[in-house]
Amino acid sequence: MKTNKIKSSLIVAKKLIPFIATKTEDELSSELVARFELYPENTRRPVNKILFRNDYFQLTYSMKKKDLVISSRGDIVYSAIPYDTARNYIQRATIQYLLHPEEVREYIKMHKGNLEKYIMLSIFQATKKRVDKNSFEVKQAYNAIFQNPLFEIQILGRLLQHDETGPISANLAGKFLFSENVNTGISEYIFEYHNFVVQLTKSLPITTDGKSVKLLETNLLKRSLANNRNKDKFLTYKSDIKPALSLVPQAEKVNTENPIIIAKQSLNLNDKPILRSRSGKEISEVRKNYIPHSVHPKESEKYFENVLSTENTNLLNVVSDVHTIDGNLPFINRNFNILVGDISDSRATNGDIKGIYVIGNHELVDVLPDNNNIDELQGKKWSLFWNSKWFKQLLENPDESWHMLPVGNHRFYEVVKVELEKRFPQLNVLHNNHIVHEGIRYIGLTIPVALVKRKDEQQKFILKSLKELLNNDYDIPTIIVSHAPLFNELSMLSIKSKAYNKDYNLSEPKIEKLFKEYNIIGAIHGHHHIPASSGQSKIVKFASKELFVVCSIYSKMNTGFELMNLINPKLTN
């Protein structure tokens, strides 16, 4: 019985709790090393050391990155649906279900209209039958969501993905119809993941939100969890999860006569969850021959309703890459906003929003005269640039002009700044300038794109600008804001991303020297459209100290990142 398995996982072995409450970070690191001895294979693992594991998952500590990661041990398959990209969302949903099962249900019900659309499309994909939202089939499928907690968790994960990245379109039947979903293996994966995180947090002072994993004792995390907004997202050994555990199915009987169905092909499995050691070859074949049939979210977005509030109350609200197309900002924040470029593709205006704004590459097109009005373009303001090859390309085909743009001290950007200030009169457009807000100095550098082939020229500009703007004031806490990241070392872009270029690294040592000498506490950028699910901030070691890096891409769910959560610990330290 799986209930017995869960109950047994809650029994905390004394030998697995070498530390619980008030250790310092230095003491913790030494105790982590002591735990390595529990797993003999760690002697053969120079980098990723095992700290805790069960049959399917493990917690490892990277000796290089100094961070913790929960990962599959390699055999369990998350989903038999080809290219299912929602694993991180569903793991986040698992944690939220453990912490707040009733709130999860309310969140799902709030999306009823959107779920009905998904179910209608799912029924069509599975049967080629068209039904309306009031049909018996749709009502039955909608009610089925709340009959099985493991399926309910999946639906929450899909809705988190929907709200963050836009409507889903591929393989809908397996995602939204319980009758089809039972053949995907996802419920079994969730059960084992859920089982592991319960064991883990009851055995070690670990906190997780389904993606990041931290030691509970770190001062930064303590302060972060003190903020109610964050505390409710993380599972720890103190979390009350009894209400959620009581709802998990008491037994999952394995029906060996009902094979896993993948794209109309069957895998005859003897047990669940799906294991690569049993079915990896068949799954690989299906995925190799899979023809994607998804629709771009931008095309299907008009059929779905935004049910989330567009207003947030962040004190320091970081947003980038909004790309609004209707002339309005699609979010509301009445406090201090940090807009990190590419805000508008429709000449948006707003007389109320306050804060700072740095120039992105899309602003360069957005401020140009409507329909490239020739008379206006030949006026005094724009005629200065008319003969420049990059400007002609910007007018004709912007996407082919980005690599040609002038480095950020060019007078063209002064014109862009003036135009933006007309549209956003209460924002400070920081074109290689700075302001001080509530004791923090914000330096805004104009870096619309990552000029990799002209990196030396760009880094000379960065060095010169920082020297002038830091202005020998070594003590004031300072944050550097730019649309494209300064360089790889202070970028949220993953090395695994197709957009990553190793040559965009820092090659000017004098810049690092400035970071060492001055009280620079972090950097903010946008540009790369990094999904919020990948994380909106990280702590990096640079110039012999720890700095935060933030990249907060706008989405319907993510209307901004609260920078105050990162600034407060820095100021305290």
Query: Domain coordinates of the chain in residue numbers?
Result: 316-572
Q: Is the pLDDT of residue 20 over 50?
A: no
pLDDT tens column, 489-535:
999 998 988 899 999 999 999 999 999 999 999 999 999 988 776 78
Mean pLDDT of 227-247: 75
Q: Between the CA of residue 338 and those of 42, 71, 133, 349, what are the distances in Å?
A: 44, 34, 41, 16
pLDDT of residue 257: 32
pLDDT tens column, 296-309:
766 787 788 888 88
* Crossing angle (nearest 10°) for helices 112-127 and 136-144: 110
Residues of the chain above pLDDT 70, percent: 84
- The pTM (predicted TM-score) of the whole model is 0.73
pLDDT of residue 374: 67
pLDDT tens column, 544-553:
999 999 998 8
CATH topology of domain 316-572: Purple Acid Phosphatase; chain A, domain 2 (3.60.21)
For residues 38 and 60, the answer to whether their CB atoms sit within 8 Å is: no
For residue 349, the tally of other CB atoms under 10 A from its CB is 15
Among residues 5, 7, 3, 33, the alpha carbon closest in space to that of 18 is found at 33
Q: Is the pLDDT of residue 40 over 60?
A: yes
Helices marked H in 111-165? 112-127, 136-144, 149-165
Cβ neighbours for 553, distance < 8 A, ≥ 6 positions apart: 320, 321, 526, 529, 530, 531, 532, 536
The two structure tokens encoding residue 504:
């965009």
Q: Is the pLDDT of residue 95 over 90?
A: yes
The whole-chain average pLDDT of the chain stands at 84
Q: What single-letter DSSP state applies at residue 402?
A: G
Looking at the DSSP assignment, which residues form a beta bridge with residue 207? 214
